[in-house]
Structure 1
Amino acid sequence: MLSFHLKRAEQAIIARKAHGVRDLDLTEPQCKVLGYLVGGVAKSCTQLSREALVTSQTMTGIVKNLETKGLVERQSSPDHGRVMLVSLTPAGVERAAAASGFSERVERGLREAMSDEDYRRLVELLDRVARLAPEVTATAEA
């Protein structure tokens, strides 16, 4: 099945990145969150969970772990007192840059392992799947 092959490829990439960022004392999901906060824009856990495609509860756990490591801080939103905004600390900025660099090297390595034509075709096909999937009509078989 197509979804099996897509998931297997995704898991292989994530596993490679996760192995590499262990030296930074980070998990791959933590690296994603740090990346979402790069640029100085503070975000709520709800915003982060939407970007990461995880539940708010999962994101809250990730943010708490990052806060314990001193990589993010939470402050009350000036607009909504009950909303807590998450932002990077100076240590978080440094760790985010290191994690991003590793991730980029993995992506570049994958790119370089393929011919230009294979890479172009792969991206084209993946984009096509993303466009077509929402329109596919599925009917139950009797």
Structure 2
Amino acid sequence: MLMNNLSIIVRHSKVFCERRLHNSGVGFPEQVILMYLASNNGVNQDAIAQHFMLDKGAIAKTLRKLEEKGLIERHQNPENKRENLISIAPAGQSILGEMGAALEEWNQSFFEGLSDEEIQQYRRITKKIADNVARINEKDSIDHQ
């Protein structure tokens, strides 16, 4: 049941975020990458793909859309001329404000009826689970090489 509940939460979250940012023309995958870049500005495509455990092609496609919309910029890495570093463009920064407001609204509804203690417990438990599954997949990847 845990996986079913998590899947439902993720799907509803995606729909909510896409509806809230519909007028900006930024889809959920683009929103997720912008949120990642908000905390990890100036990273390469491989770091993004590794973080989300997605193939580089899927990340490249989403980055291309973000670049075409003027929301991100690519700059050549001065330490490795073959690599581009990705950062949020000024237009992308303005979208982050809209995204933050939408996420705040989502969180208020998401945690409605829960005490502060329950919210903190939820965060601790889901962090542990996320760390566990990351370790499982890392070990499995090594075992199958």
Q: Shorter-chain-normalised TM-score: which range?
A: 0.7 to 0.9
Which residue in the other structure is 1:100 paired with?
100
Distance change >3 Å, CA 60–CA 128, structure 1 → 2:
closer
Opposite residue 97 of structure 1, the aligned amino acid is: G
Structure 1 runs (4+) greater than 3 angstroms displaced? 117-135
Which residue in the other structure is 2:139 paired with?
none
Equivalent-residue separation in structure 1 for 2:6 and 2:39 (angstroms):
31
Equivalent-residue separation in structure 2 for 1:131 and 1:59 (angstroms):
22
Distance change >3 Å, CA 53–CA 97, structure 1 → 2:
farther
Q: Where in structure 1 are there 5+ consecutive unaligned residues?
A: 136-142
Equivalent-residue separation in structure 1 for 2:36 and 2:132 (angstroms):
27
Q: How many pairs does the alignment contain?
A: 134
Equivalent-residue separation in structure 2 for 1:132 and 1:89 (angstroms):
35
What is the CA RMSD across the aligned residues, in angstroms? Answer: 2.4
Query: What is the DSSP-based 3-state SS (H/G/I as helix, E as strand, rest coil) of the residue aligned with 1:84?
Result: strand
* In the alignment, structure 1 residue 35 sits paired with structure 2 residue 35: yes
Distance change >3 Å, CA 40–CA 5, structure 1 → 2:
closer
Which residue in the other structure is 1:17 paired with?
17
Which structure's CA Rg is the greater one?
1
Query: What is the DSSP-based 3-state SS (H/G/I as helix, E as strand, rest coil) of the residue aligned with 1:38?
Result: helix
User: Between the two proteins, what is the percent identity of the paired residues?
Assistant: 18
Q: Where in structure 2 are there 5+ consecutive unaligned residues?
A: 137-145
Query: What is the DSSP-based 3-state SS (H/G/I as helix, E as strand, rest coil) of the residue aligned with 2:94?
Result: helix
Per the TM alignment, residue 47 of structure 1 is displaced from its structure 2 partner at its CA by 1.0
Equivalent-residue separation in structure 1 for 2:123 and 2:41 (angstroms):
30
Which residue in the other structure is 2:141 paired with?
none
Tell me which moved more, 50-59 or 65-74. Answer: 50-59
Per the TM alignment, residue 81 of structure 1 is displaced from its structure 2 partner at its CA by 0.8
1:14-49, Cα deviation, whole Å (9 max, x unpaired): 221122111221111111111222268311111112
1:80-130, Cα deviation, whole Å (9 max, x unpaired): 11111111111111112221221222112212x223165455445534544
Equivalent-residue separation in structure 1 for 2:33 and 2:92 (angstroms):
10
